[in-house]
Structure 1
Amino acid sequence: MPFARRLGLFAFACLVSLAAALGTARANPMLLVDMDNLDVLYAQEAGQPWHPASLTKMMTAYVVFEEIAKGTVTLDTPVILSAKALKQAPSRSGLPVGSAMSLKDALYVMIVKSANDTAMAIAETVGGSEAGFVAKMNDVAARMGLTASHFNNPNGLHDPGQYMSARDLAVLALYIRQSFPQYLPMFGTEAVQVGKARLESQNELLTKFSGTTGMKTGFVCASGLNMVATVERNGRRLLAIVLGGSSARERNERAAELVLKGLSGSMQPSGQTVLNLANNPGAAPVDMRANICGKGSQDYVKAQEAAFPMGLKGQPTYLTDTVVPNTYVATDLGRMAVGVVLPRPRPAHVPMFAAPTTTEAALDGGLRPGVPVAGGDIPVPRTRPVF
């Protein structure tokens, strides 16, 4: 056999061995949506159920926003950290059992720091119990038509039965923006100051990618590193979702790349809107634990790095901007007796506008008309006045 041919075969064998050693790179769910017209600019596995991790807290926040609008709680309602809340795995607020915050401050801590104890305390305050609050989460999911979503807890700590698709996350994000724009600053805040403690977001785009307005990151071993990001540049408003990243670097860089390609015009409308993008509700959620936290995680990460090296040492990066971070100052109200019912202002909710009919909602161009559920049509959540 000629030497050149033997050398070529040897080189090919080395490449095959290297690929086997590194493992196989995986194409995880990604989605890019134009928020002004709901056009899907890019979709990859967008209907696949996925463990949302702390992206769950977007739904937790939405449920709270609805309850504030109904008048069952206010932004001043005290949220007390119970013993159950403090038993939640990190990340946590760092406050002891019995500590109290206003509901507004608790929302900031939950969204920015992604504090699992605070999410549980909010659920207990607003829903009366974790189970009561989770029922509200699943009710909202049904009304929004999130057919590949189910919730068992309010904070996103791993539960095999808790899942969402990228498509459903996009719809939820759009509902937050449409119905409760007054709370969007919470999702664009980089740090919360509580006393001497500075609780920081894991969303690196907020400080290194101009135009980023929010929204949330999440991680558990079974999900990998997840992100929902909203960006406004040059008159465009785009929503990017990346699920299952092997590292924060990969998650952040892929989200930035999606947005830049959308802005450049290299990603054109697919002819679908996010509302008619297909879900796969019968599929089992993907479990990334072996790839992210198992024995094969190093090989998997190396494979992902080889497939997408942006942001690695010596490689170019999309995160080159310097953005002044937004900081919110929260107040620790001190410790309060747990189990004692506090006098809470609960004004009667007076509707300020008539609930639209299904036909009116459709004509009004809302995200979704009334969704048929048990008990009849429930109108779509609509833009609400500031209370």
Structure 2
Amino acid sequence: MVRPAKLLLALMMALLLAVRPAMAIPQLLIDMQSGEVLYEQQAGQPWHPASLTKLMTAYLAFEAVARGRLSLSSPVTMSRNALKAPPSKMGFPVDTALTLEDALYILIVKSANDVATAIAETVGGTEENFVAEMNRAASRLGLTGTHFSNANGLHDPDQYTTARDMALLALTIRAQYPQYDDMFATRVLRFGKSRLESQNDLLTGYAGATGMKTGYVCSSGLNIVATADRRGRSLMAVVFGGSSGRERGEMAASLLDRGFSGQLRGTGRLITNLGNTGGQPTDMRPYLCGSEAADYVAERKRDFPFGLEGQPSYLDDDIAPREVRVSILGRLRDIPLPRKRPYYAAPIQILPAVVTVEAGGGVPLPRPRPNR
């Protein structure tokens, strides 16, 4: 039985779509099991990814672990270069280390730019090497409308993607590395006495939500890749250019809701068959951080009022957040050096840890020490 609130939402959405022209910002809904596009609008339009960039950063870290180059317990150490990144950041002092696993949780949940750079340096040796690998991976995965300039998503005019490409990357992560699903489903990190919270409102407001990532810079607006499972179906919504966190979350939830309810039945096309348009990425800065911002945001509220005070919301479920505690390993390079050893003219032979006594003894002796 359809709840009256959900029926009202469906009627309001139908009226908005009938009265107003299509919204200008990219939107995409994918069936994750078949790869079918259930709905798309400007999905091939170039756009600045903001922190959705960190999906590729995470992907390459997962790949490094899979290939045995790193493990989840490998240390990620903060460099001076990483610390220079502007907020959002953790601000750990130079030489502070944490495990790759905890660094990935901070990357995905807190979206810390300094930690993203530190992961890039750990995986690639330098951030420059890592960015080159990001672009090679984008080419390998068929992300034909994507180019990366950094590992954290801070604005660069030459860093761009499309909703189609981000959906394809997210689908690849889910398919190849399902063991990391819990990272994307985590809403809260506990670090010491601090509580670090994801900006993905679906994780606590939309039943069945499973992740993935949000992002924002002035030139991109508020972006999201959001996934959810309901009644045996798995769907993914991508929204670029939201004017607020409210609009971003409500719009993603509305796409998912209409997909699960059958209102969006599909286009018959696969995500891999969607094309990218090329051209220059849209710059949302004038509309969100410039002189036109007040008028634009007011217009967006009129066009998409869901979630505003007194209006119905797609994010009306009450879900306990998944929480994970993270910590640091310490400042590795500040560990005192061992006391100076005596100098030996010849190298010391490395002996087995246990030496067996002569016949009849049977008790292992300590390893012989060098003569001093």
Give the AA of the match of 1:118. Answer: V
Between 203-212 and 193-202, the greater mean CA deviation after superposition: 193-202
Distance 2:22 2:244 in 1: 13
How far off is 1:195 after superposition? 1.6
Superposed CA deviations along residues 225-252 of structure 1, whole A, max 9, x for unmatched, are: 0000000011111000000000000000
Q: Does structure 1 residue 266 correspond to structure 2 residue 235? A: no
What are the equivalent positions in structure 2 for 1:276-315 lying under 5 Å apart? 276-280=273-277, 282-315=278-311
* SS class of match (1:68): helix
Larger of the two Rg values belongs to structure:
2
C-alpha change, 1:260 and 1:208, in structure 2 (3 Å) is same
Select which of 265, 272, 275 maps to 1:275: 272
Distance 2:333 2:255 in 1: 48
Tell me what 2:328 maps to.
Answer: 332
Give the AA of the match of 2:328. Answer: D
What are the equivalent positions in structure 2 for 1:190-269 lying under 5 Å apart? 190-269=187-266
How far off is 1:97 after superposition? 2.2
TM (normalized to structure 1)?
Answer: 0.80
- The size of the alignment, in residue pairs, is 314
Distance 1:26 1:269 in 2: 19
How far off is 1:315 after superposition? 0.8
Give the AA of the match of 1:331. Answer: S
Distance 1:319 1:335 in 2: 42
Tell me what 1:106 maps to.
Answer: 103
How far off is 1:111 after superposition? 0.5
Distance 1:307 1:331 in 2: 43
Q: Does structure 1 residue 34 correspond to structure 2 residue 8? A: no
How far off is 1:296 after superposition? 0.8
Select which of 76, 85, 88 maps to 1:91: 88
How far off is 1:93 after superposition? 1.6
How far off is 1:98 after superposition? 1.9
Tell me what 2:156 maps to.
Answer: 159
* C-alpha contact (below 8 Å) 1:214/1:230 kept by paired residues: yes
Superposed CA deviations along residues 29-69 of structure 1, whole A, max 9, x for unmatched, are: 00000011111010000001110000000000001111111
Distance 1:290 1:116 in 2: 24
Superposed CA deviations along residues 301-353 of structure 1, whole A, max 9, x for unmatched, are: 00111111101111111111111111111121111228xxxxxxxxxxxxxxx
Give the AA of the match of 2:225. Answer: V
Distance 2:94 2:247 in 1: 36
How far off is 1:149 after superposition? 0.3
TM (normalized to structure 2)?
Answer: 0.83
* C-alpha contact (below 8 Å) 1:25/1:303 kept by paired residues: no
Tell me what 1:342 maps to.
Answer: none
- Please identify runs of 4+ aligned residues in structure 1 that moved more than 3 A: none
How far off is 1:95 after superposition? 2.3
* Structure 1: gaps of 5 or more residues: 1-23, 339-387
Distance 1:181 1:192 in 2: 20
Distance 2:114 2:35 in 1: 34
Distance 1:146 1:31 in 2: 16
Select which of 35, 43, 46 maps to 2:43: 46
How far off is 1:26 after superposition? 5.1
* C-alpha contact (below 8 Å) 2:83/2:91 kept by paired residues: no
Select which of 132, 136, 139 maps to 1:142: 139
Tell me what 2:169 maps to.
Answer: 172
How far off is 1:196 after superposition? 1.7
* SS class of match (1:294): coil
Q: Does structure 1 residue 323 correspond to structure 2 residue 319? A: yes
* SS class of match (1:152): coil
Give the AA of the match of 2:282. Answer: V
What are the equivalent positions in structure 2 for 1:356-371 lying under 5 Å apart? none
* SS class of match (2:109): helix
* SS class of match (1:337): helix
How far off is 1:268 after superposition? 1.3
* SS class of match (2:55): helix
Tell me what 1:383 maps to.
Answer: none
Distance 1:317 1:262 in 2: 16
Distance 1:307 1:235 in 2: 33
How far off is 1:297 after superposition? 0.2
Q: Does structure 1 residue 71 correspond to structure 2 residue 32? A: no
Distance 1:94 1:239 in 2: 33
How far off is 1:83 after superposition? 1.3
Give the AA of the match of 1:327. Answer: E
* Structure 2: gaps of 5 or more residues: 1-20, 335-372
Equivalent pairs: percent with the same residue? 56
